[in-house]
Structure 1
Amino acid sequence: MLINNRNLLRTKNRLLLEQLNQPSTIADEKIVIEPSKVGIPTLKLNVEGKWKYIHSKYDPNKEARRTFEQFELSNDTEHVIIFGVGLGYHIQLFIEAFPSITFTLYEPDLDILAYCLNNYSFEKNNRINTIVHDKTELYNELAKLTDLHGNSIKVLALPSYMQVFKAELDDLYEKMIDILKNKKNHLITNVSFQKQWTINAIKNFSKVLKTPNIFKDVNNLLFAGKPAIIVAAGPSLNEEFDNLRYIKENGLAYIFSVGSSINSLIDEGIYPDAACTYDPKEQNQIVFKKLKDKEIDNIPLIFGSTVGHETIEDYPGQLLHMITSQDTVATELLSGLKNHKIVLDAASIAVVTFQLLVTLGFGKIILVGQNLAFQNKSMYATGIDYHSNFNIDNEELIKVEDVEGNQIFTNQTFNYMRKQLERYTTKVTDQIVYNTTVGGANIKGTTYRRLIDIISADLTKSEVEPNWFRYNSNYDLDYSITKIQALKKKKKDLIKLLNDAKNKINQIESTLIVNADQIEARFQKFDKVFGKIKKNKFYLTFISPMIRVQLEKLAEISRQIKLAKDYQVKTNLVSEHFGNIIVEIESALTFISEELEKLEISIKEVIRTKNDD
């Protein structure tokens, strides 16, 4: 391998370098390097017994120039993925033509890549982000690139690669679309919930203090190796009420309801061993209206700590909690959380509950009513009347495979939930996961079995401990008070830093200095102050989670500011965008200050109540 390429891989992809260093014999029957008509080398590849030219057999350089001329690059393109390195004729052409763009090289054939790196030197390697061959590496790189460049990524594929490696190219495009969709969903979720997560975390904190942590306070040995059922609200649930009733009456498995299924179960007189909830929206309380109206007090509720606070305010039964990944308040104010689990936020309560059951150590996890698709134009099981305005004709439908290999209709939301659930079902090693949902979407990592068959073969004895949830909270309340006092001091520091940052912006705006070094020094002083703001503990705990979308946009703008050569342009960008973010911070700070006072009072009330007991 040429020394320039070896140095490039040593810094960019050491694993690939080690792979290429392994002894390898390229069979003549697969790859042939031969002179083109103009004398420079060209390459042909044996594809299923037929020779396919990767480069022109007449003039590879001319072909590369023609590819370059046909390639359309928009002004906002920041990064190009070159699909297929071949012998490298096209690569140097593009790197030299676009000096402000960075590149990732992806070669699906390791033998072609090895030959290229042995014979073609990537001299301008500072512009090559990395070289990848493995699909997993490519997908990881795509995730990083989309975080950095968003939609400003373009794929360049040689015409020959479009034909010879069509499946790999289709995979690349599909993965890019998935990542961008996930990024969009992530953005939509953050826009919708960024303030609610923090507000709920604060308002729920006194309930968190008073209720047992399902991971920390409850004896998890009660669940070790036991069977558990996640009951979702899909239309297939209608077929399983008798089976679930039999399981409940005989204690054959722990039953956890998720989402709206609690209403269907209540209508059938089947009370789950626990209901689970995590949705931060105010409307989430509607799910439990029937239970509250009936004053049912013997169904424990396991709530995520950022759930809509209205949901748990007047819940009649036992409450338990799990700390969610969106809760920056509990992780700062609670003692003893470092060695205990949290659940990662997800698109569906079923995904959160699956994490919960895996962490608790259940041996079998059985999915019921997890359709994630439509059944006879129905979206929900019976007993759920607050989605009556649903109309399948208004949905953008896509086809997926069901549990028996048939094609069924779903929508983007259900499909996203399924893919997210599969991230967990495909990775568990200590659990067997059964999907019993008749007519539901196939979920990778699960085995389809009818629930009646599982009952007769596997659920043959009583497994449920009736009072498994009868535990007390064990948090250090004095620790929480001490933490709040410390945060109030950090709030004062933050206010001073914000005033200092505004002064620094005013100095930049009003400067009459023409010396470039002096102007740059003022920008550096502002950067130093803003850096302190970002490290402030009050800001990190309460403020930044509430404005995460604005901060992501600011990070994108910051790249433009760093690249700006004109100091007036740079000044305008700093003044506008950092000025706006300071206003956002001050607005959030005013709101949080009021809530923090209420929080301190509620903690002291919990302490008084505990002392009285």
Structure 2
Amino acid sequence: MLIDNKNYLRLHNRDLLNILNRVEINSEDTKIEKSKTGELTLKMFHRNVFKYVHSKYDPIREMSRLVDQFELEEGKKHILLFGLGLGYHYTSLKEKFPDVTFTVYEPSEEVLASILGSLSLKELFGNEAIKILTNRTINQELRTLLQTYNNQLQIFTLPFYEKLYKQELNDLYQYMVDHLKNKKSTLVTNVSFQKRWTLNAVKNLPKIINTPNVLKDIDKSQFEDKPAIIVSAGPSLDFEYENLRKIKEKGLAYIFSVGSSINSLIEHGIYPDAACTYDPTERNQIVFEKLKAKQIRDIPLIFGSTVGYETIEDYPGEMFHMITSQDTITPFLLNEKEDLEIVIDAPSIAVVTFQLLANLGFRKVILVGQNLAYDNNKSYASGIEYGGEINDNKLISVENVNGETVYTEEGFDRMRKQLELYINSTTNVEVYNTTVNGAKIKGTVFLRLEDVIQKYLNKKEVDNNWLNNIKQENAQFDVLSYKNQLYKSKMELGKITKELLEIIQQCNEIPRSNSIQIENKLIRFDKYFKKMKKNMYYKNIVSQMMRVQIERLSEDAKDIKLVNNIGKKLQLIELHFGSFINEVSNHIDFIEPHLEESLAKLKE
């Protein structure tokens, strides 16, 4: 590698330098030579012959023609170069789009190391800190790029690379598509639940304080190396009632129902060792209507702290809670310095429950009824009356446990991928998928439930007194001790929002010609806005109800910074920041009576 390049990478990308220092170069596979016009060109050994990456006659003219044909889509702010080559495309693109930023993805570390033996990055990029990615870093860095540029990224591909690295290019596009889908899903989720998560956490506070934390207050040693079953409500549950009855009666494994499966189990006279729930919607209470109507007291409920508050009202049995990642209020009120174990919010209660069981110490988890796909146009087991209709236009095909094709929809597919993510990162837990005709779940072993019983569940494992092994401490004192801090912070937040709105009004009253006075006001505005973001009440309560608005304001703020016309800038500040601050005030008013009610109940 050229000394020039080592210095460039040492300054701008030390990690890549360390990678390339360990790469062995085969000088016979990549060759740089002079073209007919005297410019350098590059050729690579591919399928027993050398193929030119750039024209062997006139590489600069060739690249100018390709760049002329390239149209940057409206709104795109960043170009990802698929292949570095000798950088002719970068030079032409930079001339055509001087305001666009660039990143390079070179799929082969060996090719990159070979190229950098001749091509000077300093001469090519000048003082620009252009990042170069490889196969080893692309996934991590691409996510950061997409977030930084708000998905406004476009790929430019060298034609030769498009053929040689077809799979890598397809993976790149697929990653971008998946990222957009996930971002859309997250946006939809936040729009739907951002206010509800906080409302639930506030209204559930008395129940949370007065019930054991399943991850903190229960003796985990009783679950170590034990088997547990997660029973979901997929169609294949209909095949397993007798097997589950046998497991329950003989205590062969702990049974945890998730979501709607509790109703099918009750209907067949099988009471799980615990039911798990976390759905923040008001509709979630429907799942437990039958259980409440029958006043069944023998099924303990493990609820997420942001579950729909209606769900846990009047629950007849014992209850335990788990703190979810969407809850910022409970950890703060209990003791913000305390390192609480939490479960990460996910698209499915089965995913949340898998996290829970792994954290409790279970080392064998068996999935039952986890179809995550349609089976004969059914998405739920018998006895569940509120499954949605199937939209044939949105079906996608996936592989099932038998290697055959089944159909599912994006929601189920997201659940499957999220479950796979947690299973593959939890290497100390064996996971068996017993779901007949269900979607294949990577990281699991498919085995029929009767075979799992025969091979692995051959002795009593369940301690019928597990509910009694509780070491709960009363946390009410901690909560009430933080109350005064919370209300002091709320009063300060009210003053800050009032000051911010007054500064905007004052700016509008200053003549546009007095730019210095306006600038001083905007500096003061920025100071108070930062103060608002650090405010305890804003951070732990208000901002959690305004995630979408905060993200939107962040994007608007980037555009406002680029506006030079002071009048236009003030209009945009009033439009975007002014409306945001008013929303902050509205959210303070919305949550206040619910917080008062919950804190009052703690004193009773």
Superposition TM-score tier, normalisation by shorter sequence: over 0.9
Equivalent residue for 2:459?
461
* More displaced stretch, 241-250 vs 112-121: 112-121
Alignment of 1:9-408 (within 5 A): 9-22=9-22, 24-28=24-28, 30-118=29-117, 119-123=119-123, 124=125, 127-135=128-136, 137-335=137-335, 338-387=338-387, 390-408=388-406
Q: SS at the partner of 2:532?
A: helix
Q: Distance in 2 between matches of 1:11 and 1:561?
A: 32
What is the identity, as a one-letter code, of the residue corresponding to 2:365?
A: I
Deviations for 1:555-602, whole angstroms, at most 9, x for unmatched residues?
Answer: 011111222222222211111100010111000011122222112201
* More displaced stretch, 395-404 vs 174-183: 395-404
What is the identity, as a one-letter code, of the residue corresponding to 1:36?
A: S
Percent same amino acid among aligned pairs? Answer: 50
Note the aligned Cα RMSD (angstroms): 1.6
Deviations for 1:415-440, whole angstroms, at most 9, x for unmatched residues?
Answer: 11111111101111211111111111
| 1:96–1:8 distance in 2 versus 1, CA, 3 Å | farther
Q: Distance in 2 between matches of 1:568 and 1:341?
A: 50
What is the identity, as a one-letter code, of the residue corresponding to 2:389?
A: N
Deviations for 1:460-491, whole angstroms, at most 9, x for unmatched residues?
Answer: 11111112123364143121111111110011
Counterpart contact for 1:231–1:370, Cα < 8 Å: yes
| 1:557–1:431 distance in 2 versus 1, CA, 3 Å | same
Counterpart contact for 1:13–1:132, Cα < 8 Å: no
Q: CA deviation at 1:348?
A: 0.4
Q: Distance in 2 between matches of 1:447 and 1:175?
A: 27
Q: SS at the partner of 2:460?
A: coil
Q: SS at the partner of 2:25?
A: coil
Q: SS at the partner of 1:334?
A: helix
Q: Distance in 2 between matches of 1:517 and 1:138?
A: 45
* More displaced stretch, 63-72 vs 110-119: 110-119
What is the TM-score normalised by the length of structure 1?
0.95
Q: CA deviation at 1:128?
A: 4.5
Poorly superposed stretches of 4+, deviation over 6 Å: none
* 2:589 paired with 1:585: no
Counterpart contact for 1:211–1:472, Cα < 8 Å: no
Q: SS at the partner of 1:392?
A: coil
| 1:537–1:190 distance in 2 versus 1, CA, 3 Å | same
Deviations for 1:3-51, whole angstroms, at most 9, x for unmatched residues?
Answer: 56434433543221111123633241x2222222222221122223233
Equivalent residue for 2:448?
450
What is the identity, as a one-letter code, of the residue corresponding to 1:131?
A: I
Counterpart contact for 1:109–1:133, Cα < 8 Å: yes
Counterpart contact for 1:363–1:432, Cα < 8 Å: yes
The correspondence for 1:427, drawn from 425, 428, 448, is 425
Gap regions ≥5 residues in structure 1:
606-613
| 1:398–1:126 distance in 2 versus 1, CA, 3 Å | farther
* More displaced stretch, 43-52 vs 64-73: 43-52
Q: Distance in 2 between matches of 1:12 and 1:55?
A: 27
Counterpart contact for 1:110–1:133, Cα < 8 Å: yes
| 1:8–1:301 distance in 2 versus 1, CA, 3 Å | farther
* More displaced stretch, 428-437 vs 394-403: 394-403
Q: CA deviation at 1:516?
A: 4.0
What is the identity, as a one-letter code, of the residue corresponding to 1:596?
A: L
Counterpart contact for 2:4–2:120, Cα < 8 Å: no
Alignment of 1:497-576 (within 5 A): 497-512=496-511, 514-576=513-575
Counterpart contact for 1:105–1:128, Cα < 8 Å: no
Q: CA deviation at 1:446?
A: 0.9
Deviations for 1:231-260, whole angstroms, at most 9, x for unmatched residues?
Answer: 111111111111111001000000111111
Counterpart contact for 2:549–2:580, Cα < 8 Å: yes
Q: SS at the partner of 2:324?
A: coil
Q: SS at the partner of 2:121?
A: coil
Gap regions ≥5 residues in structure 2:
none
Q: Distance in 2 between matches of 1:550 and 1:283?
A: 25
Aligned pair count?
Answer: 601
Counterpart contact for 2:23–2:110, Cα < 8 Å: no
| 1:531–1:319 distance in 2 versus 1, CA, 3 Å | same
| 1:182–1:209 distance in 2 versus 1, CA, 3 Å | same
Q: CA deviation at 1:515?
A: 4.8
Equivalent residue for 1:608?
none
Q: Distance in 1 between matches of 2:224 and 2:471?
A: 21
* More displaced stretch, 594-603 vs 80-89: 594-603
Q: CA deviation at 1:66?
A: 1.2
Q: SS at the partner of 2:546?
A: helix
| 1:349–1:125 distance in 2 versus 1, CA, 3 Å | farther
* More displaced stretch, 165-174 vs 521-530: 521-530
Q: Distance in 2 between matches of 1:519 and 1:442?
A: 61
The correspondence for 1:415, drawn from 409, 413, 416, is 413
Q: CA deviation at 1:170?
A: 0.3
Q: CA deviation at 1:383?
A: 1.3
Q: Distance in 1 between matches of 2:573 and 2:127?
A: 29
Q: Distance in 1 between matches of 2:259 and 2:155?
A: 41
| 1:68–1:336 distance in 2 versus 1, CA, 3 Å | closer
Q: Distance in 2 between matches of 1:92 and 1:189?
A: 42
Q: Distance in 2 between matches of 1:4 and 1:90?
A: 21
| 1:458–1:378 distance in 2 versus 1, CA, 3 Å | same
What is the identity, as a one-letter code, of the residue corresponding to 1:149?
A: Y
Counterpart contact for 1:2–1:121, Cα < 8 Å: no
Q: SS at the partner of 1:82?
A: strand
